[in-house]
Chain A
Amino acid sequence: KQEVTQIPAALSVPEGENLVLNCSFTDSAIYNLQWFRQDPGKGLTSLLLIQSSQREQTSGRLNASLDKSSGRSTLYIAASQPGDSATYLCAVSRDNYGQNFVFGPGTRLSVLP
């Protein structure tokens, strides 16, 4: 059974810092991995999608890497801003057909002005 963990559970940093969020999964036979952002009381916003054949994806100040063999992904946020404050969730596909994500519990990020 696939299990996803995220470290740290919560993180508070001053504005301008670069930071790394970690995601680990127990079964390396994944189809893809997706990072999401969730603001309080809101739905999930997709940030980056990495296919299992890829090693990283970049969008603006965000960079996500994937090491499938070791069961790890990192989300790097450069030059953090107060508007980045949210919960960040990673999710891996349940099987090789790319269906039904298994989510981690999230990292709650606070960027202080």
Chain B
Amino acid sequence: GAGVSQTPSNKVTEKGKYVELRCDPISGHTALYWYRQSLGQGPEFLIYFQGTGAADDSGLPNDRFFAVRPEGSVSTLKIQRTERGDSAVYLCASSSTGGGGGQFFGPGTRLTVL
């Protein structure tokens, strides 16, 4: 597609539930990134994929968070046993190389955990 797309745009869930957030990167981009942005703050890095593999997952806050990119294109961020503190905007970005050409961001998914 023309840009990075993310679905859903908004997700409201109850504490303890499981959620999946989807990212569709720019066609041909091999690198994909997930970030989390809390209100009034800059995005914080979660995980980076190069192709199908997670090259760096050091930003994932705990083992409730997991992400996959099985075919090297679409990625899914999965959150188990959601907590109210998980409420944030989850941003996805992609780039054509390792980031040297800059990153292009999607519109984000706003997750609210009640």
Contacts and interface: CB of A to CB of B under 8 A. Distances in A.
Nearest to A42: B107
Nearest to A102: B45
Nearest to A36: B105
Given A32-B100, A91-B42, A103-B43, A43 B48 contact: no
A89 interface: yes
Contacts, number: 70
B110 to A, nearest CB: 8
A94 interface: yes
Contact of A100 (B41, B56, B97): B56
Contacts of B97: 98
B45 A100 contact: yes
B26 interface: no
A101 B103 contact: yes
B55 interface: yes
Where chain A touches its partner, the secondary structure class is: strand
Contacts of A34: 102-103
Q: How large is the interface on A (under 10, 10 to 19, 20 to 34, 35 or more residues)?
A: 20 to 34
Contacts of A102: 45
Contacts of B33: 100-101
Contacts of A36: 105
B21 to A, nearest CB: 13
Nearest to B101: A49
User: Which of A31, A89, A101 neighbours the largest number of chain B CB atoms within 10 Å of its CB?
Assistant: A101
User: Which of A46, A97, A100, A106 neighbours the largest number of chain B CB atoms within 10 Å of its CB?
Assistant: A100
Contact of A103 (B44, B55, B100, B110): B44
Contacts of A43: 4, 91, 105-108
A104 interface: yes
A110 interface: no
Contacts of B100: 31-32, 51, 98
A44 B105 contact: yes
Interface of B: 4, 31, 33, 35, 40-45, 48, 55-56, 59, 91, 93, 97-108, 110
